[in-house]
Structure 1
Amino acid sequence: MSDVMTAGTVMIAGDGGDEVEAYSARPESPERRGGVVVIHHMPGYDRQSKEITRRFAEMGYNAVCVNLYHREAPGAAPDDAAATARANGGVPDARLVGDVAGAAAYLRSLPNSNGKVGDIGYCPGGRQSVLAACHLDLDASVDCYGAFVTGTPPEGFPLQVGNLVDQLPDLNAPLLGLFGAEDSYPSPEAVAELEQILTANGKDFRFKTYPDAGHAFFAVDRPSYRVAAANDGWEQIAAFYGQYLSTATASDPEN
């Protein structure tokens, strides 16, 4: 397999057919492969989100990260775009689902796609990853410490979001959840509630909680970074996607 990749900005059709900015990274080798939609964290479409997207390409997947704040602040610096989005209450749920649908369609349109697509999100993006998997035909979903999949946002929380309790019975994809035991949003109690709901609805999921980690333990540029938890988390993601995204579709003539 070649280690050469193509990475850069593309424009894709998002919710309602809107043209939105996205960052695409994919291996140059012709082998059929799955795709990953990366849903960025609250700080936005930044260098760290693009590095994660390239990491998935290095792992052998086609990957794309949509700039969820493109409509509010086209061309703005990530911090400014994130501030504008927060001031507007965040990304509407319906629009998020439409943008992830557009990203999944983009990945499936690539000539080396095997037809399988998963999503992954961090912080608010973890909740959005689960949200998208409740409404779209995805093959795998990863929630990295997404707040308010269950539970209630505190008073004064800047994003206008509610929990997904009423939508979780419609979860369409296997779910991997990675959490910190010292996190408050989501708290261990909120994770336990999510586990209970998914179990009651017969969903395919696996969770791992890291005892010495809090929120944002994957973030290498923040004090919250925890090396052991992040390294093991990447191993969990690699195994999970390897199970659900790496095989060709039944209609693939090379299968």
Structure 2
Amino acid sequence: MTSTSPDAILAETVTITGHGGDQIEAYLARPLAPGSRGGIVWIHHMPGYDRETKEFVRRLAVAGYHAVCPNLYSREAPGADPDDASATVRAAGGVPDDRLVGDVAGAADYLRGLEGANGKIGVIGHCSGGRQAFLAACSLDLDAAVDCYGAFVVEDHVEGMPKVMQPILDLAPNLSGPLLGLFGKEDRYPNPDAVAKLDAELTRLGKQHEFHSYDGAGHSFFSPDRPAYRVDAALDGWHQIYDFFGKHLAG
């Protein structure tokens, strides 16, 4: 007699319906063991739909969630190397906010349709995906959101960044669910002043949120392949993510 290990997963490339009815590529990971499960949309960082992000998606599946990452660059650069796709999209000005929201909505619908889905949906993103996770949570009815060092929620556009990276703090009154923010105190975008401004605005609005800012950590501290990786900050950050989604997406 055999049984399925609780950490056994299936990971595969799928096609989902995104903004405007477009068929886009996405990376799905889900547990093989039966159970009632929340779903999580992971929004990839500006470097693209890469190996690192897919590892994050698999990690969420091992933790017991249905998780999917839409390839936000699949229209401009289908099948391209992540670095080439990112350069193409950056040159075009970035992913438009309305298209991002539509793609996340499509990913959420896909997750709700999986066997064992409990209907609860969270969103998480790192780098530009952190900003986009906040955007999605202010634009869609979601149960939880995690912003991993998302810049330009508060700050004005900076020369050299994609033109779509404009502040979206004015959307804060529409935040649909609790928000977890994970930031580095040595980060430039967002810097501690920007994080404090977002914290203050959410507090003023009475929006449920919790922020954690780490000493000695800058941007990309979750990224193990980058010099910016900070073990202590990343380990605690993952603990906060598991605890947060466990509270808000449980079956």
TM-score between the two structures when normalised by the length of structure 2: 0.97
| Structure 2 residue aligned with 1:18 | 22
| Structure 2 residue aligned with 1:252 | none
Of the three residues 26, 41, 44, the one matched with 2:48 is: 44
Is 1:112 aligned with 2:96?
A: no
Unaligned runs of at least 5 residues, structure 1: 248-255
Q: Aligned-pair distance for 1:111?
A: 1.1
Q: Aligned-pair distance for 1:173?
A: 1.1
Amino acid across the alignment from 1:136: L
| Structure 2 residue aligned with 1:151 | 155
Q: Distance in 2 between matches of 1:48 and 1:34?
A: 22
- Residues 92-171 of structure 1: matches in 2 within 5 Å? 92-171=96-175
Amino acid across the alignment from 2:95: V
Say which SS state the counterpart of residue 181 (structure 2) adopts.
strand
Amino acid across the alignment from 2:72: L
CA contact (8 A) 2:57 2:69 kept: yes
Q: Aligned-pair distance for 1:3?
A: 2.3
Is 1:73 aligned with 2:77?
A: yes
Say which SS state the counterpart of residue 106 (structure 2) adopts.
helix
Q: Distance in 1 between matches of 2:149 and 2:208?
A: 18
Q: Aligned-pair distance for 1:225?
A: 0.1
CA deviations over 1:94-132 (Å, ceiling 9, x no partner)? 000000000000001001101101000000000000000
Say which SS state the counterpart of residue 41 (structure 2) adopts.
strand
Judge which range, 188-197 or 1-10, deviates more.
1-10
Judge which range, 202-211 or 164-173, deviates more.
164-173
Is 1:212 aligned with 2:216?
A: yes
Q: Aligned-pair distance for 1:36?
A: 0.7
Amino acid across the alignment from 1:10: V
Q: Aligned-pair distance for 1:161?
A: 2.0
Amino acid across the alignment from 1:205: H
CA deviations over 1:52-79 (Å, ceiling 9, x no partner)? 0000000000000000000000111111
Is 1:239 aligned with 2:236?
A: no
Q: Distance in 2 between matches of 1:123 and 1:2?
A: 31
Q: Distance in 1 between matches of 2:65 and 2:130?
A: 20
- Residues 182-221 of structure 1: matches in 2 within 5 Å? 182-221=186-225
TM-score between the two structures when normalised by the length of structure 1: 0.95
Q: Aligned-pair distance for 1:156?
A: 3.0
CA contact (8 A) 2:7 2:63 kept: no
Q: Distance in 2 between matches of 1:89 and 1:165?
A: 20
Q: Aligned-pair distance for 1:151?
A: 1.3
Q: Distance in 2 between matches of 1:108 and 1:202?
A: 29
Q: Distance in 2 between matches of 1:161 and 1:55?
A: 28
Judge which range, 164-173 or 230-239, deviates more.
164-173
- Residues 167-178 of structure 1: matches in 2 within 5 Å? 167-178=171-182
